[in-house]
Structure 1
Amino acid sequence: MELMVTTAFYSTNPGPFDDCVLYDQENHISTAIWEGQERGALRCHEHTSKLDRWMLTQKQIELIRKAGFGYLRLIPAISLDNPMISALVERWRRETNTFHLTVGEMTVTLEDVAYLIGLPIDGDPVIGVTYTSCHAVCVKYLGRAPDPRNTSGGMVKLSWLKDTFSHCPVDASIEEVECYTRAYLLYLVGSTIFSTTTGNKVPVMYLPLFEDFEEAGKYAWGAAALSFLYRALGNASLKSQSSISGCLTLLQCWSYYHLDIGRPRLHHDPIHECFPFVLRWKGKQNGPTSNRDITLYRKTLDCLTSSDVDWCPYVNISFTVIPESILSSLILGRAKTMLVCFDKAERHLPDRCLKQFGMVQTIPENVQIWERKTRGVDGGVDLITKMQSEVNEWSNRRFNIVEAEEDTEESEYMQWYIRITRRFVGRPVPISSVFQRMNAALRDVANLVDTISTYGMNDQQIQTVSRIRYIVHGCLNDKVRSSPAVPSPQNDLGKKAKGKARGKEMLRKDTEKRRKKGNSVDHEGMRKCIKKGNSEYHEGTRKHRNKGNSEYHASLVTAEQSCRPPSESNDAESINDAPNYPRLMD
């Protein structure tokens, strides 16, 4: 019964009921999907496949280690699962920098960055001067400049870097070795953590940060990588976008560790014997993924339960394999701060995903809205001045560590969360276009009558407004298997004439009575109202439903089956090879 009610309710309203948190819902991709406007899988831009073509000398490897990229250079070439990444993006909200899942909010934290790709998450912010031309900066830091065919404004082609600098001469001077190493580092960040949607170019503004390799190692490259990924996820979550960049290997492996969705079976034992932990997924993997599309991943996420989530996947790791430099900075995973990567400043909000740190989730503080700045077109701009407030917030990171609250229960959080989140992305049931238009009109009427104030009305007028509200909500509910209406934040507005306290008490008693008596009173009341004054409307609704909407009722059965274990649904087997396919509700 709970499955039926929830499916029915969210068929007409997937949320949010209160837009105080997700205030940009209109521009989010989930709005377009709900309206039947599919964009398909995103184009994913990352270029790890050619990193192994660089023949690095021992001198270069030592310089790379000093610069803080000793572990990132080990990043494997993992085939990206574009449909899975796209389905995750549909759950990302740029208002909170978190994934809004059915079980609560989750996100990629600084802790995940440190464990998975081994970049330093503590240090100076990655920020500097922007450029609109490549020639001068390339000559200064690489010893040569690309021809105009290999540049575009302040960006240089990755292919030029590889073709020109992938083999350092054996007899190269120290200055030449440094130039070749800077070229590799620019290629590395442009292929992974700072990959762009251009697909084959990287900004040269990172080069001056590699002038001194010891100084380069003092930057918080991991924080910059996460800021870049947050911005990329936020952009890709808008319905106007069709591609995504950033460190998608980090995102995909984060999902493998935390969510039992699309996770491949491994040839080797899944033990943490190597660092960074992204190496766990290196090499050939078992399990078919080619037959999975974004719709199937979306359905799986819509049916996600707590049993499908590993909130703390690193808890049993042997810390002997983790470098001391990483261990000493892990506390920053709980730092509520601003992440900086040149013009990209994004909020890191671990207080919204406390369960990822083994804590009980409580209602988080409101997110302070911040300005997402851009570089613009001017070259030679030092962003430190432009981003001073964001840099200051990062400097105070260790003073803003989120701590657990005592004597708290998660039930209060979930009641709040369901009101402010977008619970479903895909429709649990397909709806015909005619029926969809009629439902939209009824929802408009319901929203309108819910906003009518009964102040100053006489008893007859109040009764009329209440009756209209009851009929409209009843008919909306009747169209989804005649399920009882689920209380919403707006449903008791018509009772304000008797006083706010009295209205709440009536609603509580009515809800308890319906629960005890199987909703018989509610259905009887609705039938009497319809029979007494709305027979024409009800008859027309029934005719339309019987005539043009049989496919809708059949689809309800399909929707219910799609969230059952594999033994009850073949569809489930194609989504996830695991034996426990997620149900809609725990």
Structure 2
Amino acid sequence: MGDDPARLYRLDGVAHIAGVINDEELLGVIPPPSQVQKYAVNCSWFQETFGEFPEDADDDTVRRYVRAYIMMLLGTQLFADKSGNRIHIRWLPYVARLEELGTYSWGSAALAWLYRCMCRVANRHVVKLAGPLQLLQSWIFWRFPQFRPAGYETFSWPLASRWAGYNPSGSEKGPRVRTWRLRIDRLQSREFIWMPYSSPDVLQVLHPEVLEPRHMAVWRSVTALIYFAVIEWHQIDRVLPQFGGVQAPPRPALNIDFLMSKDGRGGDRWFPSSMPKWHAYWDARQDSVLRFDVVADPGPSHQFLQWWSQHGKRFLYFVSHLFR
């Protein structure tokens, strides 16, 4: 096939050619045609084939099961689509080199995918939300104590596992849009935690690598987030209190509406040369790391509150309903 650029995918600095990777060599078995849908394999096939680990497994078998498990994790959790039951072959070249998996910026790619999914679901005609929803739920529960389910006070690493056993009962499901809008509108500033992970009890269980400068630099970098064909803009200059800074009136947001249609659906083309500007932003992310004073009690400045009162939407619900 050759290095045909029309067949290239990209996550961060790695490209592969669709169809070249040998499934049988990587996984020990090839899924039957009935389990394959274009560039995806049914998740049920992975579960049936790799659901039970053999006790007498040799090293090659262990690696094959690890590859299958990681593909299921990526395809159904971090980068799930709305179906939630298919796993794309784009992950094959990554699991082919297990020793390199830790060198990729999975967090930035997952955040790009979550941003794009949330953008889509803002459309009134879209009813399902895809993406890493467990991470989104964890983000909410850590920062909004009022919204947390009861009985989940203990936690360990990874922090999102704190809510692993949470499953809303039938009484909690149903039409809740109006109720949640009211709850959000009635929130007080003290009921939101800007930096939940900075408390001493959380720092005790954090993996030490998380706080290394190379990772913290990504958090504070205003740059492009790239997940294959999905490109989003990391505008942390608009949420400085999450990093311990005081929020001043923000600059106008970067308009990236034209990127919303470029998500890889309907074809298999994507490679860095098609959008070199955005890949260059990511490659130079160290040059766009924000530097600001970290304070004990971060929050919006008085100037920001004035700006927000003029430009923001103060309530999600009709004001008349808030004071009944």
- How does the TM-score come out when normalised to structure 2? 0.83
Unaligned runs of 5+ in 1: 1-123, 430-557, 562-586
Partner SS, residue 321 of structure 1: coil
Paired with 2:59 and 2:148, the residues of 1 have a C-alpha distance of: 45
Partner of 2:4: none
Paired with 2:22 and 2:118, the residues of 1 have a C-alpha distance of: 30
User: How many Å apart are 1:369 and its aligned residue?
Assistant: 2.3
User: How many Å apart are 1:234 and its aligned residue?
Assistant: 0.8
Partner SS, residue 323 of structure 2: helix
Contact 1:334 1:402 in 2 (8 A): yes
Larger Rg over CA atoms: 1
Matching residue within 242, 247, 258 for 1:356? 242
Contact 1:187 1:202 in 2 (8 A): yes
Contact 1:266 1:285 in 2 (8 A): no
Residue range with higher mean Cα deviation, 364-373 or 155-164: 364-373
Matching residue within 94, 112, 126 for 1:227? 112
Paired with 1:140 and 1:389, the residues of 2 have a C-alpha distance of: 37
Query: Percent same amino acid among aligned pairs?
Result: 26
Paired with 1:254 and 1:335, the residues of 2 have a C-alpha distance of: 20
Partner SS, residue 169 of structure 1: coil
Partner SS, residue 244 of structure 1: coil
Pair 1:383-2:267 in alignment: no
Pair 1:310-2:310 in alignment: no
Pair 1:397-2:289 in alignment: no
Partner of 1:413: 304
User: How many Å apart are 1:411 and its aligned residue?
Assistant: 1.9
Residues 292 and 280 (structure 1 numbering): CA distance in 2 closer, same or farther, change over 3 Å? Answer: farther
Contact 1:126 1:340 in 2 (8 A): no
Residues 222 and 238 (structure 1 numbering): CA distance in 2 closer, same or farther, change over 3 Å? Answer: same
Unaligned runs of 5+ in 2: 1-10
Paired with 1:199 and 1:317, the residues of 2 have a C-alpha distance of: 37
Report the AA paired with residue 163 of structure 2: W
Cα deviation, 1:88-131, whole Å, max 9, x if unaligned, reads xxxxxxxxxxxxxxxxxxxxxxxxxxxxxxxxxxxx82753474
Partner of 2:253: 367
Pair 1:165-2:56 in alignment: no
Partner of 2:208: 324
Report how many residues are paired. Answer: 303
Partner SS, residue 345 of structure 1: strand
Residues 308 and 289 (structure 1 numbering): CA distance in 2 closer, same or farther, change over 3 Å? Answer: farther
Residues 387 and 183 (structure 1 numbering): CA distance in 2 closer, same or farther, change over 3 Å? Answer: farther
User: How many Å apart are 1:261 and its aligned residue?
Assistant: 4.0
Cα deviation, 1:273-298, whole Å, max 9, x if unaligned, reads x1111122243689974587221001
Partner SS, residue 249 of structure 2: coil
Partner of 1:218: 103
Residues 376 and 309 (structure 1 numbering): CA distance in 2 closer, same or farther, change over 3 Å? Answer: closer
Report the AA paired with residue 157 of structure 2: F
Q: Which has the higher contact order (CA 8 A, sep 6+)?
A: 1
Partner of 2:224: 338
Matching residue within 114, 134, 145 for 1:249? 134
User: How many Å apart are 1:262 and its aligned residue?
Assistant: 2.5
- How does the TM-score come out when normalised to structure 1? 0.48
Paired with 1:294 and 1:130, the residues of 2 have a C-alpha distance of: 44
Contact 1:262 1:289 in 2 (8 A): no
Map 1:67-466 onto structure 2 (within 5 A): 125=12, 128-129=15-16, 131=18, 137-266=22-151, 270-272=153-155, 274-283=156-165, 289-290=172-173, 293-318=176-201, 319-328=203-212, 329-370=215-256, 371-372=259-260, 373-379=262-268, 381=269, 383-404=271-292, 410-429=301-320
Residues 198 and 271 (structure 1 numbering): CA distance in 2 closer, same or farther, change over 3 Å? Answer: closer
CA RMSD in angstroms comes to: 2.8
Partner SS, residue 319 of structure 2: coil
Contact 1:130 1:375 in 2 (8 A): no
Paired with 1:126 and 1:243, the residues of 2 have a C-alpha distance of: 31
User: How many Å apart are 1:428 and its aligned residue?
Assistant: 3.0
User: How many Å apart are 1:227 and its aligned residue?
Assistant: 1.0
Partner SS, residue 346 of structure 1: strand
Paired with 1:392 and 1:410, the residues of 2 have a C-alpha distance of: 33
